[in-house]
């Protein structure tokens, strides 16, 4: 009988060890997930800030473009810019460069029209 009692104690000891190992792993995983979640919240906040800056920047370019086009009586501006649902955040710098280049092209075209009309 002592061997059955010893085996029972051994099994209970193994179960306690497994419980402690599982608890330690769960606590470590919870800490890891908290850090991942905090990083995700920071990334979302940074993306929102970048989005707000981009919207402000594009709207400023739009207002300047409208001001330039307003001098042309035969041309009316359409609705303002809207975010594109198919745009990729990773290409934001490229998109902004394209908007800047398009604005500069518009300014140059309007200046050329001004010289021709004189």
Cβ neighbors of 92 (< 8 A, separation 6 or more) are: 50, 54
Residue, of 75 and 99, whose pLDDT is higher: 99
The token pair at 110 is: 């309007």
Measure the CA angle with vertex 55, ends 73 and 99; round to 5°.
60
Over residues 12-31, the mean pLDDT reads 94
pTM tops 0.75? no
pLDDT, residue 118, reads 44
Residue in the block written with tokens 């919870």: 30
Q: Which of 18-22, 70-74, 110-114 has the highest mean pLDDT?
A: 18-22
Over residues 19-37, the mean pLDDT reads 96
């Amino acid at each position: 009988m002592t061997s059955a009692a010893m085996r029972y104690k051994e099994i209970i000891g193994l179960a306690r060890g497994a419980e402690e190992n599982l608890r330690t792993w769960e606590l470590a995983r919870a800490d890891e997930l908290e850090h991942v979640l905090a990083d995700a919240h920071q990334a979302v906040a940074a993306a929102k800030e970048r989005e707000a800056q981009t919207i402000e920047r594009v709207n400023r370019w739009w207002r300047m473009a409208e001001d330039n086009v307003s001098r042309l009586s035969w041309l009316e501006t359409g609705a303002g810019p809207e975010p594109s649902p198919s745009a990729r955040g990773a290409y934001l710098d490229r998109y902004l460069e394209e908007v800047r280049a398009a604005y500069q092209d518009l300014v140059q075209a309007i200046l050329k029209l001004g010289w021709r009309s004189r």
